[in-house]
Structure 1
């Protein structure tokens, strides 16, 4: 883990640890120490140029409202997920993929052909 110096409104310049997976804080405007969040690269589910789901490793070590003593996965509107909950999301997504296949098969059946 390296370190970075950031200027905050409540603490002035602070030196904090920066994990190797963090994309950095270049040009980032930091309000308060509690606002500092480390973010890794996004894993994106995209179809026909439309982003359907995005997830990344995230860590807000100084957060007050939702403390994050350890890195979590940040998933779009779902927010921060612990590893077990992320696995549950992956399983639900896999089941949903099966539902989509069944729906495609039903649509083909109703149309009277198979591709």
Structure 2
């Protein structure tokens, strides 16, 4: 655990002091009209950017006061949020997602090979 804390203003509970995990990138974009249940810790984003467009971003997240019990929608337990998927994944989900990305990358390479052959006049 960490000894760091952060105090954030909230709409419904006033200033709230909470432990801040070492991986949290801070709260520079925190809005004071946020409800306590919506407070969130986010790690630095890991983005897959292509042609200047963020195709995917992923970051560690935890919402210490969230009360959701719906899987993959975040909560007090840290997870990895994937955008634009709009879900928070646990380790097993994240490994599965990475494996599916590997498979998709193979499909993209096969399409590149097919396109290369078409452009070279070898296939139609």
**TM-score normalised according to structure 2 size:** 0.83
**Secondary structure of 1:96's match?**
helix
Unaligned runs of 5+ in 2: none
Matching of residue 96 in structure 1 with residue 111 in structure 2: no
Query: How many residue pairs align between the two structures?
Result: 114
Residue 49 of structure 1 is aligned with which of 23, 30, 52? 52
Task: Describe how 1:79-94 pairs up with structure 2 within 5 A.
Answer: 79-94=87-102
Residue 119 of structure 2 is aligned with which of 104, 111, 115? 111
Give the aligned CA root-mean-square deviation in angstroms. 1.7
**TM-score normalised according to structure 1 size:** 0.89
Query: Runs in 1 of length 4+ with deviation above 4 angstroms?
Result: none
Pairwise CA distance, 1:81: 0.8
Name the structure with the higher helix share: 1
Distance 1:19 1:49, change over 3 A: same
Distance 2:120 2:109 in 1: 17
Unaligned runs of 5+ in 1: none
